[in-house]
Amino acid sequence: MGDPARPVTPGPEQLAALAADAADIVPEDALRDKLELGRPLRVKLGLDPTAPAVTLGWAVVLRKLRRFQDLGHVAVLIVGDYTARVGDPSGRSEMRRQLSKEEVDGYADRLLIQFRKVLSEERLEIRRNSEWLEHMRMDDVLALTASTTVAQMLQRDDFAQRHAAGAPISLMEFVYPLLQGYDSVAVRADVELGGTDQLFNLLVGRQLQRDHDQDPQLALTMPLLEGLDGVQKMSQSLGNYVGIDEPAEEQFGKLMSIPDHLIVKYLRLCTSTPADEVDEVERGLADGSLHPNDQKRRMARLIVDLYHGEGVGARVESRFDLLHKERGLPDDVPELAIPHDAQRGSRIWLPKLLVATGFVESNAEARRAVQGGGVRLDGVVLDDPQAEFEVDALRGKILAVGRRRFVRLV
């Protein structure tokens, strides 16, 4: 995946390539200063194994790490097998569920296989932070807590919002940024990557490195990628994600379901399309000279090719078109978010779903439509008027009533 590794001489071109699409570089001139050290940088990325799939959202920072590798630097991938048991509070409105060591280890084994789809084996160092965190003594932990204050912790947006709302914040959640920050001390990181929701944690790492007489790392964050719903951050817990290890057909179908306003962002962050070409697409979509469906197809082909091989995107696109033709589906299917008030926990009753889409006016009419064979899900006729579905399993699927009414569920 990606360009062949080929170290280049530090200079303006390398600086521009590494800074491309970054949301934050803190301190502002630190990347140039680090490159002028004239040696391979140690570039850290920590990912907690709290779910089984590497999503396109995670791949945004993984691809940036690969870019550092391609330019001659060392990728230090931290598998947060210890911090995953603590739980990262970043971007959370409530406390995370605690994971067992067995759960975390199982996820880690699956994720490492997928990480290697993005990263090069050259200049790659993989560490588990249980190596140093699991053996810390109480005085080590207390020394970490002395490096920051409660007031500083409450400057974080997520903590501040929860505190203002009277929502509980555990002391363990305050400890998490310190543990993640200590990872930077343990591996002597020059650079740490993360999403924009990780900036606070990355800056804690800088402070801890100073406390340990190390030259502090620079923090480089990448934009967060919205998921298939077009609103919330891509997340496995929300079911709005595309996994890099998913079958090509599933990837393509999911990508064709994203809202039009995300086409440019996915092109920019999830493919290797040159920035000037992405800018042209952005202008063309804005002035109407380019059709969104054509550009969405291009984006989907490129992403499938990236993770499944050159030409696979075009092949699954042909199968996608054939499937739509056989099922009588139009290219541009309107999207509908499944209303929360129609759900029963994590499930939804089929008649309720049909009423929520506006296809029918009552549960009784919905049952009649199902019994008449006029209701299809992804082309499959539904014949049980009492059927219930997991909401997450419905996302991205096309619900049809009759021959001309379609909606893609998101």
Same domain for 93 and 216, yes or no, is yes
From first to last of its 410 residues, the chain has per-residue pLDDT tens of 544 444 445 678 899 999 999 999 999 999 999 999 999 999 999 999 988 899 999 999 999 999 999 999 999 999 999 999 887 665 554 555 678 889 999 999 999 999 999 999 999 999 999 999 999 999 998 888 888 877 777 777 777 777 788 887 777 778 888 999 999 999 999 999 999 999 989 999 999 999 999 999 999 999 999 998 898 999 988 888 999 999 998 899 899 989 999 999 999 999 999 999 999 999 999 999 999 999 999 999 999 999 999 999 999 999 888 776 666 566 567 778 887 777 888 888 888 888 888 888 788 888 888 887 778 887 778 888 888 888 887 877 888 887 667 788 87
> Which position has the token pair 């590798």?
69
Q: How far is CA 310 from the centre of its chain?
A: 23
- Report if residue 6 sits inside a domain: no
Return the C-alpha torsion angle 87, 89, 92, 97, nearest 10.
20
Sign of CA dihedral 30, 6, 192, 123: negative
Residues 199, 219 contacting (CB under 8 angstroms)? yes
Tell me whether the omega of the peptide bond preceding residue 334 falls within 30 degrees of 0, making it cis: no
338 to 112, 123, 189, 349, 381: CA distances (angstroms): 34, 45, 44, 12, 20
Evaluate whether residue 241 is within a structural domain.
no
Note whether 197 and 315 are same-domain residues: no
Q: Are residues 356 and 398 in the same domain?
A: yes
Question: Is 2 among the domain residues?
Answer: no
Q: Which domain holds residue 312?
A: 248-326
Q: Specify whether 120 is located in the same domain as 213.
A: yes
The DSSP output letter for 27 is: S
Number of domains in the chain: 3
Are 32 and 161 found together in one domain?
Answer: yes
Residues 309 and 322: their CA atoms lie apart, in Å, by 21
In a domain, 312, yes or no: yes
Contact, 270 vs 261, CB < 8 A?
A: no
* 147 and 263, same domain (yes or no): no
Is residue 311 within 8 Å of residue 305, measured between CB atoms? Answer: yes
* CATH number of the CATH domain containing 169: 3.40.50.620
Query: How far apart, in whole angstroms, are the C-alpha atoms of residue 132 and residue 149?
Result: 23
Tell me how far apart the alpha carbons of residues 261 and 185 are, in angstroms, rounded to a whole number.
Answer: 40
Domain boundary among 326, 352, 374: 326
Last residue of a domain, one of 326, 359, 376: 326
For residues 17 and 128, state if they share a domain. Answer: yes
> 241 is written with which tokens?
């994600």
Residues 101 and 26 in one domain: yes
Q: Give CA–CA dist 28/190, Å, rounded.
A: 14
CATH at residue 403: 3.10.290.10
Is the residue at 230 inside a domain?
Answer: no
Same structural domain for residues 48 and 181? yes
Residue that is last in its domain, among 326, 346, 372:
326
The answer to whether the beta carbons of residues 241 and 234 sit under 8 Å apart is yes
